[in-house]
Structure 1
Amino acid sequence: MQIAIIGTGITGLSVAHLLKQQHPHKQMNILILGTSSDLYGGSKILSIVAKILADNNHKPIVVLSEKGELVDELNKLGVEVRIIRLGILRRKYFSVPGIINRISVTSKAWKSLSILIEDEKIDILYSNTTGVLIGAFLARRKKIKHIWHIHEIITKPKIFTRVLSFLIEKYSHNIIVVSNAVKQHWEKHIRKQSITRIYNGIDTSIYGQNEGLLKQELNLNNNDFLIGMIGRVNHWKGQDYFIDIAKLILEKQPNVKFVIAGDAYPGNEHLVDKLVNRIENENLKKAIHYIGYRTDIPNILNSLDVFVLPSTSPDPFPTVILEAMASSKPSWRVAILKEY
């Protein structure tokens, strides 16, 4: 028995439990198609999934579009990785030319994935995130069960919301979401199928154990008050808003320091350049430190006095919130992240 899991980000124990419900008496080879090869939240969850599935005597096989740090992490875990460009659908492709580009890339992946499904005798296809569309169509063509795991809240363009809702409902045997917020959003558009919420999870034991070293790295004093954010550099994650907040605080507390961690998707490096240029042009370099992509998130969080999630659009369920709470950072309910 073999299962295909496409995308990133469901807790391994929940996956194992779900698959056991589908086929309670069979061990499975599991094909995981990931949306990115970095070590941001979703990719971290993917590595946890692969490890726990392997620990439960299944055989996970991960397919990613490119090499990266996730590949190295999976190799350390002894998980097989294959590289096939999957035509991942991201927000920057939400246009007619963008969709044409994705169709072209996806068509090239179709043959390779079809052969893989046949050779490995895949019985269930598990698509994780709406960024991976090819799994839904492959499952229909191969006449195998399809489970879709949704991480996103997509409100615009409205045409994409309607199209994705149609595909999710028509091409899924089971639908899973990562939070109540995501569930409530898609239930407005998907009415003929039930939606199951399964929260992502993290290993809390690696957080909050040691004093962070980031202040030392940035040549700050240990008593300097440090406020930070961690996340992809894009328009809705709120880096510009974070700088606006920092400027207001600096007017009253000029000795407070700030740090921004994270980089952009390949092809969006101009957003990082814009961010760095703003910090420099507004003479904020001494107060706001941009440190780029980092994998030592526990170290960064342990160094912060306050963690901020400045997203400007609804955030489905960011893993960094779990990491911040595991690092004993205070939190409170905000409009863009309502989970209760």
Structure 2
Amino acid sequence: MKTILYLHAGAEMYGADKILLELTTGLDKKKFQPVVVLPAEGILKDKLEQAGITVCVIPYPILRRKYFNPHGVINYISNYKEQTNEIISYLKKNNIKVDLIHVNTLAVLEGIRLKKKLNVPLYWHVHEIITHPQIVNKFLCWCVNRYADQVIAVSGPVKKHLVKYGVNSNKIKVIHNGIDSNIFSPSVNSDYLYKEWNVSKNAVKVGMIGRVNGWKGQNDFLDALVPLLSEFDNLYLFIVGSAFQGQEWRVKDLKKKINSLPNHNRIIFSEFRKDNYAVEHFFDILVLPSTSPDPLPTVVLESMGCGRAIIGYEHGGITEMIKDGYNGKLVTPGDKVALRKAVKTCLSHNEYVKLGKNSRIRLVNQYSLKKFIGNFMKVYSEH
């Protein structure tokens, strides 16, 4: 049996968090023993423990913007060494002999030191396409190329980006994420949301789900789609998501903008929820307006599982997930007028119903959870 040490950047329940949960709980436990070390308490830790996964919280530093200054660099280096020593102490204390390290994000560099100290292979699972700041992108790609024994990219565009910035293509395998199509399904009951959000039963619902940050595109979503509220009396818009700790001002600004808009009574904002399977089922159309390339957005897979049409900007992983005209529509990144027209076309002719049915078919055939976990077990077995 191989013991795999997993390192991650948080303990929430967004895309990469969900993928880590699915992977560790889905492994064949006769062959693989997952041990997860997280930097903070949170819902991910609770769910891992409920699934019987060995999990520990050690507050190792995560590469964030707060460290991008001289004082921050000093703090990062000091905490980095101290907390990796804590991880080693935890493993020794619990007699855990690690065979392989799986780092689940570019924001976690602790795997580099642990690889050397434990003398085991490092697998780097890359969920990001970093476009700025370029100095950080180049540094991280150098780290991946220098220290990773195996790189797992979540999509072809992620691999292409890594290779462009110096990562050896022979090190990289593409393994698309998968989701449980029994949980994210057309048979989900989401009717309770009509009452919770005071939405009429004849409403057409268009929404987005994502972290409230500088690139997920909440402003593009509003700028593009609010004019449609005047054209479709039964249209409601939804934005679901929270900000990183310390960036709560982003949510405050977003709420202020929504309240200033015409027909804002038909714009629903909700911070992060635990029932995304119902929210995604509730929407008729999911919009992905990310202004930077989204590597392989889990929310798109989940909405496909629920049988929903997807409309988004044509860059990043969505270009592999959505066949334009088959299960959704893709438009030029940043073109809010084109985004509006794509949504309007779907609404005007009820095209979203057909696209949604095709989404479900595509999800089941290409992005199953069984295929995702099987691919990882095969890769783990190669070392």
What range describes the TM-score normalised by the shorter chain of this pair?
0.7 to 0.9
Distance in 1, Cα, partners of 2:312 & 2:206: 18
List aligned pairs for 1:268-287, cutoff 5 A: 268-282=247-261, 284-287=263-266
Partner of 1:288: 267
Classify the secondary structure of the residue corresponding to 1:278. helix
CA distance in 2, matches of 1:176, 1:192: 12
Task: Give the conservation status (yes or no) of the 8 Å contact 1:227–1:307.
Answer: yes
* TM-score, reference length from structure 1: 0.86
- Which residue identity is paired with 2:3? N
- Structure 2: how far apart are the matches of 1:42 and 1:191? 21
Q: Does residue 200 of structure 1 match 2:177?
A: yes
CA contact (8 A) 1:94 1:157 kept: no
Deviations 1:297-330 (A, max 9, x none): 1111111111111111111001011001111112
Greater mean alpha carbon deviation, residues 49-58 or residues 140-149:
49-58
Alignment RMSD: 2.0
Tell me how far 1:45 sits from its aligned partner: 1.4
Displacement of 1:96: 4.6
- State the 1:261 CA deviation: 0.9
Q: Pick closer, same or farther for the CA change 1:206–1:139 going to 2, 3 Å.
A: same
Q: Does 2:47 match 1:69? A: no
Q: Which runs of 4+ in 1 moved over 6 A?
A: none
Equivalent pair of 1:216/1:222 in contact (CA under 8 Å): no
Structure 1 runs not aligned, ≥5 long: 1-26
Separation (CA, whole Å) in 2 of partners of 1:74 and 1:97:
35
The one-letter code sitting in structure 2 at the alignment partner of 1:110 is T
Is 1:261–2:240 an aligned residue pair? yes
Within-5 A mapping of 1:179-328: 179-194=155-170, 195-207=172-184, 208-213=186-191, 214-282=193-261, 284-328=263-307
1:94 Cα offset (Å): 4.5
Gap regions ≥5 residues in structure 2 = 322-383
* Letter matched to residue 196 of structure 1: K
> Which deviates more, 179-188 or 199-208?
199-208
Query: Once the two structures are superposed, what CA deviation does each residue of 1:66-112 show, in whole Å capped at 9, x if it has no partner?
Result: 11111221121111221101211135544555444433332331210
CA contact (8 A) 2:208 2:287 kept: yes
Sort the Cα spacing of 1:98 and 1:325 in 2 relative to 1 into closer, same or farther, 3 A. farther
Partner in structure 2 of residue 4 of structure 1: none
Q: CA deviation at 1:125?
A: 1.8
Deviations 1:110-131 (A, max 9, x none): 2102223444222322222101
More helix by share: 2
- 1:239-292 Cα distance to aligned partner (Å, 9 max, x none): 111111232212322441111111111111111111111112335540111111
Q: Deviation digits for residues 185-233 of structure 1, max 9, x if unmatched?
A: 0111225451111111110111221342222211111111111111111
Q: How does the TM-score come out when normalised to structure 2?
A: 0.77
Question: How many residue pairs get matched?
Answer: 314
Percent of aligned positions with the same letter in both sequences? 36
1:129-157 CA-partner distances (Å, limit 9, x unpaired): 10110111221243322121111111221
Give the whole-Å Cα distance in 1 for the aligned partners of 2:74 and 2:302: 37
The 3-state SS of whatever aligns with 1:167 is: helix
Worse-superposed segment, 58-67 or 89-98: 89-98
Counterparts of 2:28 and 2:69, CA distance in 1: 39
User: Partner of 1:29: helix, strand, or coil?
Assistant: strand
Q: 1:322 to 1:95 in 2, by over 3 A?
A: farther
Secondary structure class of the residue paired with 2:27? helix
